[in-house]
Amino acid sequence: MMTRGLATPLTTTRLTVGAGVLGLVVAAGAVGLAGPWDSSGQRRAEGRWAARQTAAQGRSDGGTGGARGPGTDSGRLPGPAPSAPGVLTALGASTASVPLPAGPALSDVLDPLLDSPGLGPRRSAAVMDVATGKRVYESDPGKVLTPASTTKLATAVSALASLGADHRVDTEVRTGADKGQLVLVGGGDPTLTAHKDADGFASLRTLADATADAVKAGKAGKAGKTAKDDDKGAGHGKADHDHKADHGGKEKSGRPEVSVAYDTSLYSGPLLHPIGPNENIAPVTPLMADEGRLDDSDSGPAARSADPAGDTARRFAALLRERGVDVKGEPVPGEADSEAKRLARVRSAPLSALVERMLTHSDNDIAEALARQTALAHKEPASFDGAGKAIKAELRKIKLPVGGVTFADGSGLDRTDKISPRLLTALLGRASDPARPELRPVVTGLPVAGFTGTLSSRYKDAADAAGVGLVRAKTGTLTGVNTLAGTVVDADGRLLVFAFMTEGATDPQAAQSTLDRMASTVANCGCR
């Protein structure tokens, strides 16, 4: 006889199975859910396991793989960043032997929650089985609503699909039109940092080191043709510089003297997001350090610079002075000649790492930067409009359901964004597909309920205990808008993806709690 309703409370066995399914822990024989977690929300042990596999693969290819990482003397481009292995089916059971959740049984437990007065008058939902692609629960799944930050799932998938998980973003210094002029060229890396500890991201200090070395060697003179980039430059932990440039100027003191300009011409359109000056996002420019934050934070709301590009150039000039290079006057806006020589560059962490950081911390600055990288890949203007067109075009290209969908930005801060639960579950399902490993960072970057990112302070209610550690989801919150979309393992060990959306809620805490309860209910459901 078919049974319905909730399964027994969460057990250690289910935590083990769920962890294996989601890629939280990967081992063939023994699997356990344990920390510690790194800053991206991925377990350090998982990263070390993947690194060992990468090294072993390099040896099996004749020892040519596994480029040396940051801080080494290798001139080769660093290899791909370690990431979680592919999403697995439930351990100990094949897909055929694990029962598929029954729609009526899921309706019995989810419908009352979806009808909760804590949600707004507009609501929609979908739950999909990853292995079969079948929707096992739905309520107006095609209805488009304001997604808030779950927009970042579309931004992430489109960027990874169009650029690849190993794509990196360069910040360069090139020679200017005048003798002794340097041009700091923004490539669109919002994770560029001026902090002493770069934590694996591109460092403005490292860029200043390499630039100062080039200037002191007399290589910062007239503009000339760029040396061909054969992808053997330095990675995000070490700058490289062009040894074929000309001479620089000298002060009477014997210290070299330069002037600095900065180039932000890569982006077009408005600098400010339509939301206006806001602590959740800096002016959108291809040149910024530490996301224009005016404090030492690296995530969450913070006071922002009104001129992050200018501030970054001024900080760069100060770093040059500290390294024995005099800078005439203040940096000024300018544009590097297309034939200008590259003196130095630093490269971002791989796109896979940027996506994970964006999703874990709901980072709006990274989201808008990745949306513009997608626009450039599609030969669209690197603007809000161009990015929106490119995201939709890429999702259509990989055959995801974009009918009625609108992308006004890449972060989800714009209320004119419109997405359906059907698309959100399709995005998550595609990212969970072992045949699409380049999309895996979308899954590994999702916050873990009760542990990481924007879910670290949620799922504290005893009624939500079933979701702790098993729900991984992207949150979305604007005034009157609440969304939750992610992955969950049900009581039978089935990997499901879900999207729950509501608009018009007057009590944001009640709406958020209800959506959390819905995901926990799926996790604890033996719905047959």
Residue whose C-alpha is closest to residue 154's, from 368, 501, 427, 389: 427
pLDDT digits 0-9 by tens, 217-250: 987 664 333 333 333 334 455 565 544 444 345 5
Radius of gyration for the chain, computed over Cα atoms and rounded to the nearest angstrom: 24
101 and 135 in contact (C-beta within 8 Å)? no
Q: Phi first, then psi: what are they for 500, rounded to 5°? A: -120, 130
| pLDDT over 70 percentage in the chain | 75
382 and 284 in contact (C-beta within 8 Å)? no
Return the exposure string of 453-486: e unless at least 16 CB atoms fall within 10 Å of the residue's CB, then b.
bbbeebbeeeebbbbbbbbbbbbbbbebbbbbbb
pLDDT score of 98: 79
- Give all strands of the β-sheet with 495-503 in edge-to-edge order: 135-139, 122-129, 495-503, 481-489, 472-478
Q: Name the pLDDT band for 75 (thresholds 50, 70, 90).
A: very low
Q: How far apart are CA 177 and CA 335, in angstroms?
A: 9
Q: Mean per-residue pLDDT for 173-201?
A: 96
In this model, does residue 172 exceed pLDDT 60? yes
pLDDT score of 49: 36
Q: 163 versus 18: which is more confidently predicted?
A: 163
pLDDT score of 48: 42
pLDDT digits 0-9 by tens, 392-413: 999 999 999 999 999 999 999 9
477 beta partners: 482
Q: Phi first, then psi: what are they for 397, rounded to 5°? A: -60, -40
Element (H, E) at 514: helix 508-523
Q: How far apart are CA 406 and CA 161, in angstroms?
A: 19
pLDDT score of 205: 98
Residue whose C-alpha is closest to residue 366's, from 405, 406, 398, 413: 413
Range with the poorest average pLDDT among 239-243, 369-373, 386-390, 425-429: 239-243
pLDDT score of 96: 57
Strands 122-129 and 495-503: antiparallel
Q: How far apart are CA 266 and CA 187, in angstroms?
A: 7
SS3 122: strand
Set out the domains of the chain in order of their start, with CATH numbers: 106-165+353-524 (3.40.710.10), 170-220+255-349 (3.50.80.20)
pLDDT score of 103: 85
pLDDT score of 267: 98
In this model, does residue 71 exceed pLDDT 70? no
Q: 524 versus 267: which is more confidently predicted?
A: 267
pLDDT score of 100: 86
- What is the pTM (predicted TM-score) of this model? 0.81
Q: How far apart are CA 143 and CA 140, in angstroms?
A: 5
250 beta partners: 256
pLDDT score of 248: 47
Q: Please classify residue 2 by burial: count the beta carbons closer than 10 Å to its beta carbon, then call 0-12 exposed, 13-18 middle and 19+ buried.
A: exposed
Q: How far apart are CA 270 and CA 261, in angstroms?
A: 21
23 and 98 in contact (C-beta within 8 Å)? no
Q: 79 versus 270: which is more confidently predicted?
A: 270
pLDDT score of 266: 98
Q: 462 versus 38: which is more confidently predicted?
A: 462
pLDDT score of 99: 80
Q: Tell me the pLDDT of the chain averaged across its residues.
A: 82
Tokens 């992430």 — which residue?
Answer: 156
Max distance between CA atoms of the chain, in angstroms, equals 93
Range with the poorest average pLDDT among 15-29, 149-163, 232-246, 439-453: 15-29
